Structure 1
């Protein structure tokens, strides 16, 4: 049975655009998933990337065009310059980690719900009430927003180290069985082909 380590950020536009397509591919192939929320800005700094605000103007312009095209292609609502971005991703990531430990809901839906709040719903996912509502929408106990902060912080930091060690440098980033790497929501079709034995 294949296994996917899924590195993502709750404030990443491309994690939002991934929707739940990776989960659909994983279910199709009987693959298991370990969700690893991380600090994407710290990951950029550790792996030779540059945070969006510090990129050359041509890269900033291309990023916005690509986001517009990809969201249109996928039929997904997207505000290219959301009111609450960037925001602190740690609280929502800690809540996600608590939800993964508690169980009872849909983790793929929770990733999508949190990122949708940023990129389509104009909400601040650093706020407890927004996080709580996202948890409930994905089938989890809203009280998880207030629990496991220390453990969440430790796992969040460990996920960053794991990503660097595994060779991940962006989000979303999918690694199958510790070796085969897929970067970006536009590589989910390739992930499907790989799991089908066609790549």
Structure 2
């Protein structure tokens, strides 16, 4: 059975634009997924990247155009300047980690709930009520937002170290069990083809 390690940030617009395509690809190929939320700003610092706010104006302008274009093409609601961005990614990441450990719900839906809350819903994903609502809507016990803090913090830090070690430098980032790496939601078609043995 193929496996995909999915490195992402709960605040990433590109992870939001991935929608549920990763989960559909995994289902199509009988693949399992491990969700690995991480601190994308720390990852940039460790791998030669630059946070969006510190990029050259031409890069910022292109990013703004490209995000809007991609959202339109994917027919997804999108706010280029959400009210609560940037915000603290750690609490929502801890919730994803706790939910993955606990099981019983839909992890893909949880991630998308959090991402869409920021990029389409004008909500602060660092807010406890928003996190608990996302957990509940995805079939998880909302109390996981409180009970998983310690383990979540440890795994969150470990995910960053693993990402650096395995060549991850952005989000979303997908690594298959045979070591193939795919960066960006616009490479999901390549991941699909690879799992089909066609690429």
Q: Which digits, 9 at most, give the CA deviation of each residue in 1:163-187, with x for residues without a partner?
A: 0011011110000015100000000
Unaligned runs of 5+ in 2: none
Question: What's the CA shift string for 1:43-100, capped at 9, x where partnerless?
Answer: 0010000001100000000111110000000000000000000000000001111111
Partners of 1:58 and 1:174 in 2: CA distance: 28
Partner Cα distance (1:176, 1:154) in 2: 24
Give unmatched runs, 5+ long, in structure 1. Answer: none
Partner of 2:10: 10
State how far apart, in whole Å, the 2-side matches of 1:65 and 1:148 are.
38
Report the Cα distance in structure 2 between the residues aligned to 1:181 and 1:170, rounded to whole angstroms.
11
TM (normalized to structure 2)?
A: 0.99
Secondary structure of the equivalent of 2:143?
helix
Task: Work out whether residues 118 and 124 of structure 1, in 8 Å CA contact, stay in contact via their aligned partners in 2.
Answer: yes
Describe the shift of the 1:178–1:9 C-alpha distance in structure 2 as closer, same or farther (beyond 3 A): farther
Q: Does 2:192 correspond to 1:195? A: no
Residue in 2 aligned with 1:35?
35
Q: CA deviation at 1:2?
A: 1.0
Q: Is the contact made by 1:5 and 1:178 (CA closer than 8 Å) also made in structure 2?
A: no
What CA deviation, in whole Å up to 9, does each residue of 1:100-141 have, x standing for no partner? 111111001111110000000000010100000000111111
CA contact (8 A) 1:166 1:178 kept: no
In structure 2, distance between residues paired with 1:195 and 1:178: 10
1:141 match: 141
Q: Give the structure 2 partner of residue 74 of structure 1.
A: 74
Matched, 1:104 2:100: no
TM-score, normalization: structure 1?
0.99
Taking the aligned partners of 2:166 and 2:113, their CA distance within structure 1 comes to 27
